[in-house]
Amino acid sequence: MATKQKSGGLGRGLGSILPDIDNLQVSKAVATPTISTIPLDKIEANPYQPRKDFAPEALEELAQSIRQQGVITPVTVRKMPDGTYQLIAGERRCRASQMAGLKEIPAYVRVATDSQMMEMGLVENIQRENLNAMEVALAYNALIDECQLTHEELSERVGKNRSTITNYLRLLNLPAETQLALSTDQISMAHARALVNVEDIDLHREILHAIIDRHLSVHETEEMVKRAKKRPVAPAAKKRGELPSQHAAAQSRLKDRLQSTIEIKRSLRGKGTLTIHFNSDNDFERIISLLEK
């Protein structure tokens, strides 16, 4: 193993957040006081890992590279009281190493609190993994809540402008359907930023579906939002056979819970239909999972 590895290679701020365990003897294959070779089966996943999904094709490509060249950049772990290790950064490398048939992996063994683990995992992933926008937003929010960081402090930690941090956090105000579309790359973050300003849920969904179905550009989306906001609001017309209050209230509750268009039709005799609209197969699965809870 090369002995010229530097902690600076771990990413901005990582070396300064966590101290090394200089005198820790993990195995006989220690190349430097700060890097050790440890068994993969003794490494537990980081519970604060912001990335939830790992593409199988990308993992296989990394595994093939590891078979040929080994693990070039050590993972980062902390030692637990029971002798196991908890991963701070490098879950993709661990998974790919297991796929490559490795039994051990080089690792930086460091001292870390739970909040530092969360912070380290986020910083490392943002620099190496290209998290999707929703994963970044959720991780930023967790850091602010759990580590009690201000937007300015978080900006310094991850090397991003404060306005960038704010724009990501605003994504958490989007309806669930829009967050799903963003996390599955049906819309871009720029599309989502335009939609953040549309608070009316029906209008919001109308524009979202237009973006997806008509492949609207960001500029076209922004223009559509502007035009939609200028529409005159028509007074609600009283319709014959209007839904009874309990049915209307149920329709409203379902709409809020499922973040989808709900239609209830009822005859004067009490018979009727309940229709739940969905936009895609993924949206269908999301709604089914909510109904099954």
Catalytically active residues are 91
Q: How far is 80 from 83, CA to CA, in rounded Å?
A: 6
* Phi/psi of residue 110, nearest 5 degrees: -130, 165
Report the DSSP beta bridge partners of residue 227.
none
Q: What angle do CA 116, 118, 122 make, to 5 degrees?
A: 115
Place of tokens 């030692």: 79
Place of tokens 């490559």: 100
135: burial class by Cβ within 10 Å (0-12, 13-18, 19+)? Answer: buried
Q: At what angle do helices 201-214 and 218-229 cross, to 10 degrees?
A: 150
